């Protein structure tokens, strides 16, 4: 019957411990795989600024409502590689301004930095050692393009001569 004394104390102990446990929930708000470890982009960029000691300049509406999946697994020791991993899913890119200041801009496909252009030309110039290799690849691509456009074989040549000038057709209303 010694244990009976402790059983009577359980409700009292529960009443005292319940508020304590409720005020210190621990990591109940921890991320889980159900949320794909999503973090708002603003929080990720703040973490980048504190880890790498840089200033990131961007418009709030540019990142509003965006969240990054697996954000903290995208961090690397190299700052530029980390930023590329973070910004690439949102079609954003990083531009160095001065000192430790960087601006985040939307990616513009037709524009290319001189460094990227130089790297692309270097890559393209290394693809073919001479003109005959280039001509061979050109003919392969031409054949492939014609097949993809259903122009191989070409349709038969029409028997009539081409018309000169514009041809106007009347629309008939019935």
> Per-residue pLDDT tens for 86-128?
999 999 989 999 999 999 999 887 888 788 889 999 998 888 8
Of the three residues 106, 122, 137, the one that is the final residue of a domain is: 106
pLDDT, residue 83, reads 94
Mark whether 40 and 71 lie in a shared domain: yes
The answer to whether residue 37 is domain-embedded is yes
Looking at residue 20, its pLDDT comes to: 61
Same domain membership, residue 76 and residue 123: no
- Residues contacting residue 86 through CB under 8 Å, at least 6 positions apart: 41, 44, 45, 48, 68, 71, 74
Q: Which residue has the tokens 């954000």?
A: 71
Q: Do residue 62 and residue 122 come from a single domain?
A: no
**Closest C-alpha to 38, from 2, 64, 66:** 66
Task: Determine the pLDDT at residue 113.
Answer: 79
Of 106, 126, 160, the residue that ends a domain is 106
pLDDT at site 165: 73
pLDDT band of residue 55 (cuts 50, 70, 90) is very high
Kindly state whether residues 101 and 41 are assigned to the same domain.
yes
Residues with Cβ within 8 Å of 22's Cβ and at least 6 positions away in sequence, in order, are none
Sign (positive/negative) of CA torsion 9, 14, 15, 16?
Answer: positive
Q: Are strands 55-57 and 67-69 parallel, antiparallel or unpaired?
A: unpaired
Q: Does one domain contain both 101 and 70?
A: yes
Mean pLDDT, residues 169-174: 58
Q: Is residue 159 part of a domain?
A: no
Choose between 55 and 18: higher pLDDT. 55
User: Is residue 21 domain-resident?
Assistant: no
pLDDT above 70 as % of the chain: 75
Helix (H) or strand (E) holding 6: helix 2-23
> What is the mean pLDDT of the segment spanning 10-30?
59
Q: Rg for the chain (alpha carbons), in Å?
A: 33
- The reply to whether 81 and 98 lie within a common domain is yes
Residues 48 and 79 reside in one and the same domain: yes
149-158 pLDDT, tens digit per residue, is: 888 788 788 8
> Are 37 and 97 members of one domain?
yes
Q: Do you know the residue count of the chain?
A: 174
Given 75, 106, 137, which residue is the final one in a domain?
106
Question: Which residue segment(s) compose the domain that 119 sits in?
Answer: 114-148
Same domain, 102 and 135: no
Asked, for residue 167, whether it belongs to a domain, the answer is no
Provide the CATH number for the domain around residue 70: 3.55.50.30
Contact (CB, 8 A) for 86 and 47: no
- Please state, in angstroms and rounded to a whole number, the distance separating the CA atoms of residues 45 and 79: 12
> What element of type H or E holds 102?
strand 101-106
pLDDT reported for residue 109: 77
Averaged pLDDT of the chain:
82
Count of structural domains, the chain = 2
Indicate if 39 and 101 belong to the same structural domain: yes
Q: Is residue 26 part of a domain?
A: no
> Considering Cα of 9, then 11, then 16, then 21, what sign does the dihedral take?
positive
Lowest mean pLDDT among 54-63, 143-152, 155-164: 155-164
Phi then psi dihedrals of residue 114, to 5 deg: -60, -35
Residue 83 contacts residue 45 (beta carbons within 8 Å):
no
Both 95 and 69 in one domain: the answer is yes
Could you tell me the two tokens for 148? 């993809």
- Specify the pLDDT at position 16: 63
Which of 49-58, 100-109, 160-169 has the lowest average pLDDT? 160-169
């Amino acid at each position: 019957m010694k244990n009976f004394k402790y059983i009577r104390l359980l409700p009292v102990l529960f009443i005292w411990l319940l508020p304590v446990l409720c005020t210190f929930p621990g990591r109940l708000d921890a991320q889980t795989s159900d949320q794909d470890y999503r973090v708002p982009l603003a929080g990720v960029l703040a973490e980048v600024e504190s880890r790498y000691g840089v200033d990131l300049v961007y418009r709030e509406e540019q990142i509003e409502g965006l969240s990054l999946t697996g954000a903290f697994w995208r961090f690397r020791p190299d700052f530029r590689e980390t930023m590329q991993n973070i910004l690439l899913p949102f079609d954003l890119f990083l531009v160095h301004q001065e000192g430790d200041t960087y601006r985040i801009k939307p990616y513009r496909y037709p524009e290319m930095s001189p460094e990227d252009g130089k790297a692309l030309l270097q890559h393209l110039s290394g693809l073919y050692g001479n003109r005959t290799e280039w001509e061979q690849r050109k003919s392969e691509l031409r054949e492939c393009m014609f097949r993809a456009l259903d122009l191989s074989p070409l349709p038969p040549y029409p028997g009539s001569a081409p018309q000169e000038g514009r041809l106007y057709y009347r629309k008939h209303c019935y």
